[in-house]
Structures are given as structure tokens and as C-alpha cells.
Chains A and B, each alone.
Chain A
Amino acid sequence: MQFLAQQIVNALQLGSIYALIALGYTLVYGVLRLINFAHGDIFMVGAFLAFFAAVLLDLPFVPTLLLSMAATALLGVLIERFAYRPLRNAPRVSAVITALGVGLFLEHFTLASVGAQPRHLPPLIETVVYRLGPVRVTTVHLVIFIVAVVLMVVLDRIVNRSLTGMAMRAVSWDKSVVPLMGVSVDRIIALTFAIGSGLAAAGGLLYATAYPVIEPYMGVLVGWKAFVAAVVGGIGVIRGAMLGAYLLGMVEILVAAYLPSTYRDFIAFGLLLILLVFRPQGILGRREVQKV
């Protein structure tokens, strides 16, 4: 029982990080119908920017978080402006290929500029271990969970309660009508990329806080996993991405806890694939009706 409780704490930490990254996939897909395969690498760049903010500027946790989110948001806007916008009316496959290219570019740009050597993010949060009965919870667990939940609630508010959010939902519904209402589609799309990339940077910093070794390829596998989480939850649906991410974190941890961990990814992804067979639109997704 205490073993299970500890594993749930472990899973909440992993799931929170997946959730912040999965939200970026789901936001961009929701608004633009584009799967931004560069997102995992934006997450990596966010972690490196946080690393430089923490090491070179010697900033504490919160300013590091805000600075890296802001810088990565800007990067997201630039990527959208120069890589995706010229292809907005091109066949969708061109945009997907471009996204893969942008991802490779970010990886190798980072590799060439900071080197292949893994870096160590200095501890920005002092690790204190609390014992809740037999379960051990650290300040790192708490910070990750709290930051993730706060950002998710803020995002949910923006999308569902604000005018900008209404514009985002409108662009998602139909890009051709929205300009008639006096809304700039370009601005809304740029904003979507900014928010998604900023969340990825937050995920990057939290990830580097929990696992303080960062390197240029760290975004690849995590990016794929967050993408799977977003699809399982129902891509394009914000609450779905969160649900999918926590589900994936839980399945990964519990499989490794009760079975040889070699089976972890195989069973985790196997289960998710089976789920998609029965609910291809994801858990919270709505089936899209194709107009013919």
C-alpha cells in the first residue's frame, strides 16, 4: 500500500511534465490542424534557456521560469512566422515535414552551439524530503505539481473564458470567417504558438529540475510521449491532453513497478494503442464530421 502510494507520487511528477508538453501539441493542433513535431525540441531549447538563465545570470527559480518561458515563446512565434506561415495553404503533409525539419534544426543547432556534453542544471529548489507517513514527497515533487496545475488552470481560463480564447476557438472552427469579425488570424495563431512554446519551456525547466541532466536530444523521446498523451486524451482538447498525460505517467510508472521495467514502454504504448482502436478520437475528443 505504501509502495503504491509512493508510485502514485512518482507518477504525478512524470504526468505533470508530460501534461505541459502535451498542451502545446493540442493547442497548435486545435487551432491550426498542424501536428508540430518540433515541439519536443522546443521543450529541449526551453530547458537550455533555463539552464543559461540559472547559470549565467544566477537567477532563482521563478525568474528563471518566466525568462525561459518568455524567450521560448518568442522562439515559437519565430518558428511559426518563418517555417509554418508560408506553408499555411500548402498541403498538410508539407507542414508536417517542415515541422520535422525544424525539430532536427533545433537539435543540431543546440548540438553545434553548446556541444554534446550533458549539462547539469544547478538545484534551483532546495530539496527537502517530507515524510507523509511512509510516503516520501520532496519539494521538487510539490513544485512541479503546483507549477503544472497553476499553468494548466491559467491556460484553461484563457482558452475558455477570455476574448482571446474565444478568438482561438473561432479560428479553430473556421479560419476563413474569423477575419470578417475583425480578428487577425495571424495574431491569434502567433499567440497560440507563443503560449504552447512557453508551456513547453516550463515543462523543460521542471523536467530539468526533476532530472537535472540536460542534453540536445532530450526532447525527442519526451516529445513523442507527450504527443501520444495528447492523442490519447483527444488531440485538440485541452483537458484531454492533461488527462492523457497523467494517464501515460501513471501507466508507465505502474508497469515498471509491477513488471520488469523492460516491458514499460511496450505495455504503456500497447495499452494506449488499444484504447485508440476503441476510441480513435481520444478519451475526451469529439468525432469530427467530414463535410463532403
Chain B
Amino acid sequence: MRRSPGLFVLAALVLAWMAGPSSAQAQEIVVGLNAELTGSIPVVGQSSRNAALMAVDEVNAQGGLLVGGARHRIRLLVEDNHDDPAAAAAVAQKLIYQDQVVAMVGPNASRDAIPAATIAESARTPMISPWSTNPQTTAGKSYVFRACFTDDFQGQVVAGFVYRDLGLRRAAVLYDVASDYNKGIAEIFRSSFTKLGGQVVAFETYTTGDRDFSSQITRIVSLNPDVLFLPNYYSEVPLQVQQARNLGYEGPIIGSDSWGSTEIVALGGAVMNDQFFTTHYAPDIATPEARAFIEGYEERYGSTPDDVAALTYDAFGMLFHAIQQAGSWEREAIRQALAQISQFTGVTGTMSFHGTGDPEKSAVVIRIQDGQFRYYGAASP
């Protein structure tokens, strides 16, 4: 019988296919990070990158992830999205189509995460946003997940905290109307606070990049509210607080998890003292898992990890967990394993998914004292 070269080639191809990702041969698993390294919230991007490098290095130090009986090293690609929605989408496209990542972590800010999520969904590539709390990021998508709670939840938590714990009834809100996160949480706060029986006396807006809020704040002060809610990013909040104090507002000022960077104290100084905000975790009452992460991070980078760092670390933790559970790093297998995570204990608490990309988890209230973030209490809607 003559040997057919065609058959031989076919046999070789079949062998090559069988020796693919699920074989015992060690291959690299490529994952991407889509982060805000420059633009208006660069500290967020840096924290995210630091935590991502730490999570990946820890796995690689053990020889990699154990999949299909062999260890596979992780290769991390970090891309800058400039905190620009269009650039975030372009970075998502580059990571997915050009670099062929198995999954993408980030972007962090909702204004970037929402367009990137649309790309990830249409490319059927799992994406986990560490920090995007806007409901739209995961809504109607089956490949997009997050490591944090949503604004729906957080808006209710803040409203409940102000109404019940602080006992305040007349609230004023100043928020960035051009940013999905700020706008979403402001609106949910208004509806929840009104439902509880409170009154929102002022609902003022500005646009990203504004530095002068004196006109809006003057109007707020003239309406004499009990509490001022500023669900805005750390680079703008200190200016708003300072201008509010100078224009005669003396009551408490409340924030949300966008305050979570300690940069807010560096920028604002003493004026930020005694303000409250809700967030994902408090470094000073950490669980053993969190302790290990915080100490490792402090040793490596010389600073306390903020919430973005903790959530990025958890996002990678969930991703690695999913890959090992699935026994494969095919995009579809990762997606299924992520959706089925019933209990994942991370740095920011325990999370579980119930058929959507949003985990169930709790929030904490932080009080700023002497330039430090101090745990004030747990919070629920």
C-alpha cells in the first residue's frame, strides 16, 4: 500500500490539534489589563496595574496556573486607555483581536468600562471590571462581570446611611452630568432618599474638567440643606469641598466609592477630615485574606492599597479561579466558570454570582480622620 502524503499531513494536523491548549504541554495564558494610566484619574490606573502585576507574579512564582495537569504561566499585557471612552474601546479591541487575550480585566471607570464591555460582549471574550459600578456595564451581557457592587446598591446604601444613621432629611447633590458613574449614583440616591421620606432640595450638575463650582454651590447654600452628597472622583471632590466651606456650607459632606483613593487626602488636606463615604473595603479591619494582600502590597509598593487595587486583585483572583475550575482557558469555558462562581472569598469580601455579571457583596462606610481612612461601619440599603 502506498503511503498517501495527504493522509500523513491530516494525521499530523490531528495530532497538533490534540496537543492544543488542554494538553499537558505548558503554554502561556495571555490576559489583558485595560487601565486608566493617564487622563483624569491616573492613580486609579496605577493602583490597578500594581495589583494586577502582584496577582500575576504570585501565580507565576508557583509556576503558573494548574490546568489540565500542568502549570501554565500567565502573561499580562497592560494597556493605557487614557480614561477616554473611545480609547478604552480601542484598547479592548487591540487586546481581544490582536493580542488574543483569553480574558480582559478593566477598565475601571464606568465611562470607559461601558464601551469596552460592548466590545468584549460582541467578541465573546470574558471581561471583569474591578471598579465599574454602573449597572449598564454588565446589563444584558453574558461575558461581562465585575468584582464590585453596583450603583443601584450603593445609591441605596448611601441614602439609607444618611437617612437612618445620620438622621438627616434635607439633602443637596452636586454631580458630574457628563460621567455615567456620577450621574447614575446621583439619580439612584435621589430616588432612594425620597422613598425613605427625605427631601432632595438641590440637584446640581457640572461637566468633567470643571474647576469652578461656586455658582452651583452658592445656589446649594442658599437652599440650606442638612447634608451635601458629592458622588464624584477624587481629583474634583477636594475642590468642591473647599469651595463649599468657603461659601458658607457647614454641614456634613458624603461621598461614594469614587472617593476611595487616598490621593483625595493628599489633594484636599485637612478640609477632607470628618467626611464619610461608602466603599468596598476598609484596610483597617481586614480579614486574613485581606491582611496578606495588604501586607504584600505595602512591602512591594510602599503604600496601602486602595479599593481599586483590592478589587483588581480580586478580579484576577476570580479569573484564575475560573480558569482552574474550567480546566481550560478557552474564552467560552472561562465565561461559564465565572458565571458559576458560587462563593469566592477575596480581599474585598465574599462574592457570589447569581446568573448575572454582578456579584452579591456588602459595603462599608469609611470616615476620614487625620488624613486616614477609618472604618466606621457596615452598610446595607
Contact check, B246 vs A140: say whether CB atoms are below 8 A apart.
yes
Chain B: minimal CB distance from A271 (Å): 16
Closest to B222 in A: A3
Closest A residue to B246 by CB, please name it.
Answer: A138
Q: Which of B42, B218, B267 contacts A115 (CB 8 A)?
A: B42
B235 with A10: CB separation less than 8 A: no
Task: Please give, as numbers and ranges, the residues of chain A lying within 8 Å of B37 by CB-CB distance.
Answer: 116
Residues of A within 8 A of B267 (CB): 118, 120, 212-213
The answer for the CA separation of A127 and B241 in the assembled complex, in Å, is: 14
B377: Cβ under 8 A from any A Cβ:
no
Shortest CB-to-CB span from A199 to chain B, Å, is 19
Q: Is A41 an interface residue (CB 8 A)?
A: no
Min CB distance, A220 to chain B, in Å? 8
Judged by a CB distance under 8 angstroms, whether B266 is at the interface is yes
- Is B69 at the interface (CB under 8 A from chain A)? no
| Contact residues, B187-239 vs A (CB, 8 A) | 204-207, 209, 211-212, 214-216, 218-219, 222, 235-236, 238-239
Could you say which of B38, B216, B235, B269 contacts A261, with CB atoms under 8 Å apart?
A: B216
Mark out the residues of chain A between 1 and 22 whose CB falls within 8 Å of any chain B CB in the assembled complex.
2-3, 6-7, 10, 13-14
Nearest-neighbour CB distance to chain A for B190, whole angstroms, equals: 15
Q: Is B215 touching A221 in the complex (CB atoms < 8 A)? A: no
Seen from chain A, the residues whose Cβ lies within 8 Å of a Cβ on chain B are 2-3, 6-7, 10, 13-14, 111, 115-118, 120, 127, 129, 136, 138, 140, 207, 210-213, 215, 217-218, 221, 252-254, 256-257, 260-262, 264-265
B43 contacts the other chain (CB 8 A): yes
* B238, A213: Cβ atoms closer than 8 Å: yes
Complexed CA–CA distance, A292 and B106 (Å):
61
Task: Provide a sorted-by-A list of 12 A–B residue pairs whose CB atoms are within 8 angstroms.
Answer: A2-B222, A7-B218, A116-B42, A117-B42, A118-B267, A129-B246, A136-B246, A212-B238, A212-B239, A256-B215, A260-B205, A261-B215
- Chain A residues whose C-beta falls within 8 Å of the C-beta of B42 in the assembled complex: 115-117
Closest to A115 in B: B42
**Contact between chains at A3 and B219 (CB < 8 Å):** yes
Which of A10, A111, A210, A212 touches B215 (beta carbons < 8 Å)?
A: A10
A254 to B215, CA, bound (A): 7
A7:B269 contact, CB within 8 angstroms: no
A261 engages B204 (CB within 8 Å): yes
* Contacts A6-B247, A127-B246, A261-B206; A211 near B218 (Cβ below 8 A): no
In B234-261, the 8 Å CB interface with A consists of 235-236, 238-239, 242, 246-248
CB atoms of B215 and A257 under 8 A apart: yes
Question: Given the interface contacts A256-B216, A261-B204, A262-B205, does A211 sit within 8 Å of B247 by beta carbon?
Answer: no
Q: How far, in angstroms, from A252 to B247 measured CA to CA in the complex?
A: 18
Closest chain A CB from B181 CB (angstroms): 17
How many chain B residues touch A (CB < 8 A): the figure is 33
Nearest-CB distance from A224 to chain B (Å)? 11
- Residues of the B chain whose Cβ atoms lie less than 8 Å from the Cβ of A140: 246
Task: Sort A-B residue pairs by CB-CB distance and give the 3 closest, nearest first.
Answer: A256-B215, A10-B214, A211-B211
Q: Does A253 lie within 8 Å of B215, measured CB to CB?
A: yes
CA distance A6 to B269 in the complex (A): 26
Interface flag for B40 (CB, 8 Å): yes
Knowing A7-B215, A117-B43 are in contact, say whether A213-B248 is a contact too (CB < 8 A). no
B167 at the interface (CB under 8 A from A): no
Question: Which residues of chain A have C-beta atoms less than 8 A from B204's C-beta?
Answer: 261
Q: Which of B39, B212, B222 contacts A211 (CB 8 A)?
A: B212
Chain B 21-61 per-residue mask, 1 if CB under 8 angstroms from chain A, else 0? 00000000000000001111011000000000000000000
Residues of B within 8 A of A257 (CB): 215, 218-219
> Is there an interface contact between A262 and B177, defined as CB atoms closer than 8 Å?
yes
B46 shortest CB reach to chain A, Å: 8
Verify A120–B266 contact, CB threshold 8 A.
yes
**Chain A residue contacts of B247, Cβ below 8 A:** 6, 136
Report the bound CA distance from A267 to B360 in whole Å. 44
5 new A-B contacts, CB < 8 A, other than A210-B212, A212-B242, A218-B211, are: A3-B222, A13-B212, A215-B235, A261-B204, A261-B215
C-alpha spacing A207/B38, complex, angstroms: 23
Q: Which of A6, A138, A261 contacts B205 (CB 8 A)?
A: A261
User: Of residues 122 to 179 in B, which have CB atoms within 8 Å of A's CB atoms?
Assistant: 177
Asked if residues B40 and A215 are in contact (CB atoms below 8 Å), the reply is yes
What residues of A have a CB within 8 angstroms of the CB of B43 in the complex?
117
Please, how many angstroms separate the alpha-carbon atoms of A117 and B152 in the complex?
30
Which B residue sits closest to A120, measured CB to CB? B267
CA distance A7 to B215 in the complex (A): 6
**CB-defined contacts of A3 to chain B, threshold 8 Å:** 218-219, 222
Nearest residue (CB) in B for A129 is B246
Q: With A3-B222, A136-B246, A212-B239 as known contacts, state yes or no: A14 contacts B212, CB within 8 Å.
A: yes
B218: which A residues are within 8 A, CB to CB? 3, 6-7, 10, 257
B185 to chain A, nearest CB (A): 17
Complex Cα spacing A64 to B214, Å:
26
Instruction: Please give me the residue from chain B that is nearest to A123 by CB atom.
Output: B269
Minimum CB–CB distance from A139 to chain B (whole Å) comes to 10
A213 in contact with B239 (CB, 8 Å)? yes
Contacts of B205 in A (CB 8 A): 260-262
Q: CA separation between A254 and B216, bound complex, in Å?
A: 10
Is the beta-carbon distance between B214 and A13 smaller than 8 angstroms? yes
User: Using an 8 Å CB-CB cutoff, how does the interface string of B252-282 with A read, 1 for contact, 0 for none?
Assistant: 0000000000010011110000000000000
Contact B209–A221 (Cβ < 8 Å): yes
Query: Which residue of A has the minimal Cβ distance to B221?
Result: A6
